[in-house]
Amino acid sequence: MPSSREWSLCNKDKVFLERLIFRLMNWNPPGISIGQKAVVGSFVNKLELIHLCRLAIKSFSQQKQSLPLTICADLHGHFFDLRRIMNACGLPPGHSWLFLGDYVDRAKFSVETFCLLLAFKVRYPDNGYGFFDECIEKYGDCDQHLAFLSFVNVFNHIPVIAIVGDRILAMHGGLSPELKNKSDFAKLLIPSFVPAKGLMCDLLWSDPDGEKAGWSTSNRSVSLWYDQSVVNEFCRDQRLDLIVRGHQVKREWRKRGYNIMAGGNLITLFSAPNYGGLSNTSAVLNVSKEMVCEFYLFRPRKT
C-alpha cells in the first residue's frame, strides 16, 4: 500500500496528537495502584476521542511498514504495561510497531490503551501498526453509545493481516483453509464487520493445535484449529520464514510469554503480563532490519 503522507495532517491536528501522546505517556492517576479499578471518567474527553477516531479511520486507509519494528500481541487494556513495553523497546517515530489485536477488554484502562495506540498511529503513520461497560463508566449514559460506536467504527477499518519484509506473516488468530496464497489478502474488504465464518473470521479467531491432524473444529465455538503440518505447508508454499500471532496464553508457557511450534515456523505472543491474575510473563518480538528476531520479556509489575 502507499505510505500515509504526513502532510495530510494539518498543524493543528499534529499538535493535538502530540499533546495527547504526551499526556497519556505521563499520566499517573492519584490513588491508583496496580490491580485497582479505574477511576470513573476518562482521561480522554468525549470530543478528543471522537476527533481521534475520525483521524484514525483516515490514517488506516494508507500505510506501510518499516524495519526495525516490534510485534506486540494481546494487551487487553493493560495501559501501564503498554507504556512500560514501549519505553523499553522504543517509541515512534524512531521505532515502528505492529499490534496484533485484543487491545481492549479485561483490564480497566482499555479506553486509554486504545487512544494511545491510535494517537501514535495517526501522528506517526509509518511507525505503527467488557469494553462497552468501560465506555459507560467513563463517559456516562448519555455518551456511552457515541464513544463505543466511535471505537467500533475504527475497529472496522483496522487491517487484520500484515506482511513484514516479505518473509513474516502476522495476524491475531491464525491461518484459514480459505487462505491459499498472498493474493487472497485482496478478498479482505476494509471497512468490514467480522463474519461468523470464513477468511476474516479465521484470521482473527483460529488457533494452532498440536493434537489433531490438519483442520478441526475449535472449542471456542467459532473458527477452527490447525496443526503444524498446515503451518509448514503454507510457509513452504508462500516462501515465508515465520507466522506470528497472538490470541492465546497457556499455563505451560506463562513464564516466558511466547510459544514456538511447527519447527519454528509459528510463534504465539501474549503481551499482557499478569493477565487475569495468572502471574504470567508477557513478550513482544523485535524484528531488526536484517530480519533477525529477538524476544523481549516483561515480568508482572510488583504491587
Q: What percent of the chain has pLDDT over 70?
A: 85
Q: What percent of the chain has pLDDT over 90?
A: 51
Residue 11 maps to a domain: no
Tell me the pLDDT of the chain averaged across its residues: 85
Mean pLDDT score, 222-242: 95
Q: What is the CATH number of the domain that holds 112?
A: 3.60.21.10
pLDDT confidence band for 186 (50 / 70 / 90): confident
The pLDDT of residue 277 is above 60: yes
Residue 7 maps to a domain: no
Total number of domains in the chain: 1
Mean pLDDT score, 141-155: 72
Tens-digit pLDDT profile for residues 89-119: 999 988 999 999 888 877 788 889 999 999 9
pLDDT of amino acid 211: 79
Residue 200 maps to a domain: yes
pLDDT of amino acid 242: 97
DSSP code string of the chain: -PPPPGGGS-HHHHHHHHHHHHHHHH---TT--TTPPPPSS-SS-HHHHHHHHHHHHHHHTS----SSEEEE---TT-HHHHHHHHHHH--TTTSEEEE-S--SSSSS-HHHHHHHHHHHHHHSTTS---HHHHHHHHHHHHHHHHHHHHHHHHHTTS-SEEEETTTEEEESS---TT--SGGGGGG--SS-PPPSSSHHHHHHH-EE-SSS-SEEE-TTSSSEEE-HHHHHHHHHHHT-SEEEE-S---GGGTTTSEEEEGGGTEEEE---TTGGG----EEEEEE-TT--EEEEEEPPPP-
Orientation angle between helical segments 46-60 and 11-26, nearest 10 degrees: 120
The pLDDT of residue 65 is above 70: no
Tens-digit pLDDT profile for residues 48-64: 988 999 998 888 766 66
pLDDT confidence band for 133 (50 / 70 / 90): low
Residue 155 maps to a domain: yes
Residue 75 maps to a domain: yes
Mean pLDDT score, 126-143: 63
The pLDDT of residue 33 is above 60: no
133 versus 123: the higher-pLDDT residue is 123
Most confident of 64-73, 128-137, 261-270: 261-270
Report the distance separating Cα 271 and Cα 77, nearest Å: 11
pLDDT of amino acid 183: 80
pLDDT of amino acid 126: 76
Mean pLDDT score, 173-202: 86
Residue 271 maps to a domain: yes
pLDDT confidence band for 142 (50 / 70 / 90): low
pLDDT of amino acid 138: 66
Most confident of 49-58, 195-204, 265-274: 265-274
pLDDT confidence band for 40 (50 / 70 / 90): very low
- pTM for the structure as a whole: 0.84
Residue 9 maps to a domain: no
Cβ proximity of 120 and 97 under 8 Å: yes
pLDDT of amino acid 221: 87
pLDDT confidence band for 29 (50 / 70 / 90): confident
25 versus 191: the higher-pLDDT residue is 25
Residue 43 maps to a domain: yes
Which residues form the domain of 224?
19-298
pLDDT of amino acid 46: 85
